Structure 1
């Protein structure tokens, strides 16, 4: 519980003890006073409960949503829920005069969104009929890079990701998605695009940003149109399911969107009869995002296959963000299609070597190898911002750029716009930075020491560079570095569930254009399209069947650096293959398992798990099982059936126990695989368990926001909360490094997950106003015996 909530509860309890007629009773035999606990709704997340700032929250009612009631065999009607909601709103407005209801929900979520002063939120907890209060968090359309393709340069062969997963073979077999409806919950969609207009009828969806019935993509937006093309394009390019019907729901404006509109989009898509929904959006919160998760879970229960992107914050573990953290929805990681790898040597003046130089990314093999043709001038362009290129002649030259400040892809896009034919990006700290496939220019990366050599060469007047680039090896499908990794905090689930192509994906762009984008946003619609193909063939399948088929038939993605399959929390069950999913004769559900935490200091702990095996064939099948944890660690023992006979068309439950002796195991998480064999093929089911307190990151981000009243909302993202929390301000140097210490803005204790926020007046030591501009906000977190101190770039404005 955070300090704000603690103070609010202390005040509330003091009020109860003084004023409540039923809050305490005295014993007949002594004078001891017994305080009766007040029955209140739960508050989830960390809300600034002492601030007067207008805050939007999501309220969940005790009354069940229509779908939850239906799934539990109970009766619920829209009229009844409206009446119940009306009573609650009426009582709420008696308690909070400045409460303005915005969205109302009844189908897959029962409740409403409301804006009120933050210091009035506690009053909601005592209003009869309110079950819980959730934060209204921010969502973004997630893209790593964008490159619009001119009509002259466009070729249908660029859309090679759909055939790679086997879509063309599915089309040849007669499965194109016909008769299946896919909802794209995104930034809207250009339904007039020549490759998309076939998929839309008279009713096209809804715009929750402008609150009208026209989900046309907003000016300057393109994300939803690109996602829609990957699902359903049928023109110059073909999406995975080119004959599906599409519905568009615009929930993200130019600055993103919030939970209240995302939940509204999910709810309407289910009511409109969608069979599949795609949510290529997300935030950085590694936690099941309560209101959205509830809505997605009930959408899946109602028969709508929900597909979400896993996030673009990789390659470290614990970086998956909501809604990719959802328990039921299919979350998708990003792979890169097979590519060629190259070695590079650079030369400036005699005797100067750059051993750390590596190819970082490139738009095509031809453009990369073209750098071998002659010598080039190179020009230092600082951090690579547009301003850094002003007044500099980069035409036909190489841009030398420092890491820091903003994304690599933007640096290279800016270099290209300035006329450069290539780029070198050097690290601003020790070590090597990530590869970024598909950059707009051929780009070489170096470590800091070699970057400093290049700067020294320029100082000495040596501004010419040459390249020797040679083919090294062909690399198979790989996981994209940017793809977020699991596990999920609190549920300890493996995420993503599956992976799909997400690097340099060519698809539709508003107007009549096409663009190459990359991100897990581009991976998810491959899976949504595949789900549509499965539903066309198997109209009676439940959502769990579709998820199981995709997970059970996915293929391992191999890490070229190790020759071994990537970890489960990197790739999920693997990269999807459409034909194999269409032809599977066995479904194992759920497609992955977590045994959770084993925290005993001594001795053995046993946890149970089970899954269903469904035999889709017309013959009885004898299944056998083998469970293996990576490295076969002593201390983990799994007990399950050796064999199981399942009749044709029938399902059977398989139970298994895992016994963990924590005294024989180091703390950490252990991945394993359940091998299910029918004698011909083997289905791999990923599994995971944790020994001791999981090593999730204690802080995953920070922010500073002008509230408009002279104060600033400063906060951090805390997946597991914090016992001690501190915020320090430092100078941000122009070269992207951290400068001197300025002040400590605040220290706190017992902050709850997943967000902590406080109000800051904009001043530092001795009441000095901190000037507007870029600063470094460093967050100190201490939780469950682990400390972290991380720095984030913020802007005061």
Structure 2
């Protein structure tokens, strides 16, 4: 039986050292990054071993469903509170930072965007649809995330962490019929080719959906679960190989940082042990995974839904941002925390760019080192929050 697979190829690469942890010449790294291609093909399982041995193939994985890291507590905001800045923008210190994201290109891979929203006036929004449903945003998730990263003020309320960003790449990878790992990989490739410095992804592998699709085809549940697990592992490796190629390209083209949501499947409010680890693709090596924090009278605490084991945290509860059709909407989730971290990453990228020291290693180090725990409530678990609340550069 044939199944759709994603094939990641690197033509002209002299060897696979960069994928095996070995040393490689600069010319090899540059050739590998520049020649990367993404293919989707129907393949027979029996042909996979031979394909994997091809010298230009660095990863092969079955196409599996991807879904939103679905937000919680969705509410329309008819009139903002008597504040002029959202609590998330203040919590990360973006309101006091001298940097705005000017000169930095961000990409948001999500449900699309309502580019006509007043929050995006003055932004060169470049859209590409990977779903077949057309540009735009019928869901609202992508518009909300984009607003948190680079949105301009709406009705006197500052919603954007990096409102000085002038160019944004919007990859619509999730539509009414969800999405797939193939669309995400293709969108990452597109974003890097078009100059993205920061790529924000609030999405994850739909493992239960993959199992269900296999059982609908007549496969017994135990076999379906095992097969889905094989695909899950292969896709984690696929995203890791893609991240390695992005990292290689960052040395020769523009610096590109991959940021992903940890996921909302934990239920710590029901029982302390009801928590699971970061979901793919954020769990893959080469991604910055993001947990969600909430605001309390005594400080910040981890949101009960936030998956554990993330690298850094951002504001993720009661976040107000742009809504399709105009106006504002409130959402909660690691989906909301991720664009806060992406926005702060853009501020750090601008700071490093201004001093001529922007590269992936330094940007990653500065971003993770910015995590602060001094504002967290006593008794927090470091494994839940990573390095702490992401913080914007202050000078």
Q: Same fold (TM over 0.5)?
A: yes
Residue in 2 aligned with 1:189?
Answer: 113
The whole-number CA distance in structure 2 between the counterparts of 1:62 and 1:200 is 31
Residue in 1 aligned with 2:293?
Answer: 335
- Shift in alpha-carbon separation, 1:578–1:111, aligned structure 2, 3 A: closer
- Secondary structure at the residue paired with 1:125? helix
Residue 257 of structure 2 corresponds to residue 305 of structure 1: yes
- Secondary structure at the residue paired with 2:336? helix
Does the 8 A contact of 2:11 with 2:35 survive in 1?
no
The whole-number CA distance in structure 2 between the counterparts of 1:205 and 1:132 is 27
Pairing partner for 2:95 from 153, 168, 179: 168
Residue in 2 aligned with 1:266?
Answer: 188
Residue 547 of structure 1 deviates from its aligned partner by 1.9
Residue 59 of structure 2 corresponds to residue 242 of structure 1: no
Q: Where in structure 2 are the equivalents of 1:564-575 lying within 5 Å? A: 564-567=379-382, 569-575=383-389
Residue in 1 aligned with 2:122?
Answer: 198
Over residues 499-552 of structure 1, what are the superposed CA-to-partner deviations in whole Å (9 max), with x where a residue is unaligned?
A: 010011000010112111111010011111111111111112212212211222
Residue 211 of structure 1 deviates from its aligned partner by 7.7
Residue in 2 aligned with 1:255?
Answer: 177
Structure 1 gaps, min length 5: 1-51, 82-105, 339-473, 487-495, 584-797
Does the 8 A contact of 2:114 with 2:143 survive in 1?
yes
- Secondary structure at the residue paired with 2:282? coil
Pairing partner for 2:129 from 191, 204, 207: 207
Q: Where in structure 2 are the equivalents of 1:589-668 lying within 5 Å? A: none
Residue 70 of structure 2 corresponds to residue 143 of structure 1: yes
Residue in 2 aligned with 1:56?
Answer: 4
- Shift in alpha-carbon separation, 1:478–1:259, aligned structure 2, 3 A: same
The whole-number CA distance in structure 1 between the counterparts of 2:376 and 2:101 is 33
Relative to total residues, which structure has the larger strand share, 1 or 2? Answer: 1
Over residues 351-403 of structure 1, what are the superposed CA-to-partner deviations in whole Å (9 max), with x where a residue is unaligned?
A: xxxxxxxxxxxxxxxxxxxxxxxxxxxxxxxxxxxxxxxxxxxxxxxxxxxxx
Q: TM-score, normalised by structure 2?
A: 0.78
The whole-number CA distance in structure 2 between the counterparts of 1:546 and 1:151 is 38
Residue 20 of structure 2 corresponds to residue 73 of structure 1: no
Does the 8 A contact of 2:64 with 2:206 survive in 1?
no
Residue 296 of structure 1 deviates from its aligned partner by 2.5
The whole-number CA distance in structure 2 between the counterparts of 1:484 and 1:109 is 32
Residue 194 of structure 1 deviates from its aligned partner by 0.5
Residue in 2 aligned with 1:523?
Answer: 337
Over residues 656-691 of structure 1, what are the superposed CA-to-partner deviations in whole Å (9 max), with x where a residue is unaligned?
A: xxxxxxxxxxxxxxxxxxxxxxxxxxxxxxxxxxxx
| Structure of greater Rg | 1
Over residues 599-636 of structure 1, what are the superposed CA-to-partner deviations in whole Å (9 max), with x where a residue is unaligned?
A: xxxxxxxxxxxxxxxxxxxxxxxxxxxxxxxxxxxxxx
Residue in 2 aligned with 1:295?
Answer: 242
Does the 8 A contact of 2:262 with 2:282 survive in 1?
yes
Does the 8 A contact of 2:10 with 2:36 survive in 1?
no
The whole-number CA distance in structure 2 between the counterparts of 1:65 and 1:265 is 22
- Shift in alpha-carbon separation, 1:504–1:165, aligned structure 2, 3 A: same
- Secondary structure at the residue paired with 2:27? coil
- Shift in alpha-carbon separation, 1:325–1:108, aligned structure 2, 3 A: farther
Residue 155 of structure 1 deviates from its aligned partner by 5.7
The whole-number CA distance in structure 2 between the counterparts of 1:552 and 1:108 is 33
The whole-number CA distance in structure 2 between the counterparts of 1:324 and 1:112 is 22
Residue in 2 aligned with 1:509?
Answer: 323
Over residues 302-323 of structure 1, what are the superposed CA-to-partner deviations in whole Å (9 max), with x where a residue is unaligned?
A: 2201111111112445421001
Residue 122 of structure 1 deviates from its aligned partner by 1.5
Residue 57 of structure 1 deviates from its aligned partner by 1.4
The whole-number CA distance in structure 2 between the counterparts of 1:108 and 1:262 is 19
Does the 8 A contact of 2:67 with 2:206 survive in 1?
no
Q: RCO (CA 8 Å, sep 6+): is it higher in 1 or 2?
A: 2
What is the aligned-residue RMSD (CA, Å)?
A: 3.0
Relative to total residues, which structure has the larger helix share, 1 or 2? Answer: 2
Q: Where in structure 2 are the equivalents of 1:383-782 lying within 5 Å? A: 474-486=297-309, 496-539=310-353, 540-556=357-373, 560=377, 563-567=378-382, 569-579=383-393, 582=394
Does the 8 A contact of 2:74 with 2:330 survive in 1?
yes
Residue 229 of structure 2 corresponds to residue 277 of structure 1: no
Residue 231 of structure 1 deviates from its aligned partner by 0.3
Residue 123 of structure 1 deviates from its aligned partner by 1.8
- Shift in alpha-carbon separation, 1:278–1:481, aligned structure 2, 3 A: same
- Shift in alpha-carbon separation, 1:516–1:114, aligned structure 2, 3 A: same
Does the 8 A contact of 2:119 with 2:153 survive in 1?
yes
- Shift in alpha-carbon separation, 1:75–1:188, aligned structure 2, 3 A: same
Bigger shift: 182-191 or 62-71?
62-71
Q: TM-score, normalised by structure 1?
A: 0.40
The whole-number CA distance in structure 2 between the counterparts of 1:300 and 1:132 is 16
The whole-number CA distance in structure 1 between the counterparts of 2:389 and 2:275 is 19
- Shift in alpha-carbon separation, 1:195–1:570, aligned structure 2, 3 A: same
Over residues 481-506 of structure 1, what are the superposed CA-to-partner deviations in whole Å (9 max), with x where a residue is unaligned?
A: 100013xxxxxxxxx11001001100
The whole-number CA distance in structure 2 between the counterparts of 1:124 and 1:111 is 16
- Shift in alpha-carbon separation, 1:65–1:484, aligned structure 2, 3 A: farther
Residue 55 of structure 1 deviates from its aligned partner by 2.3
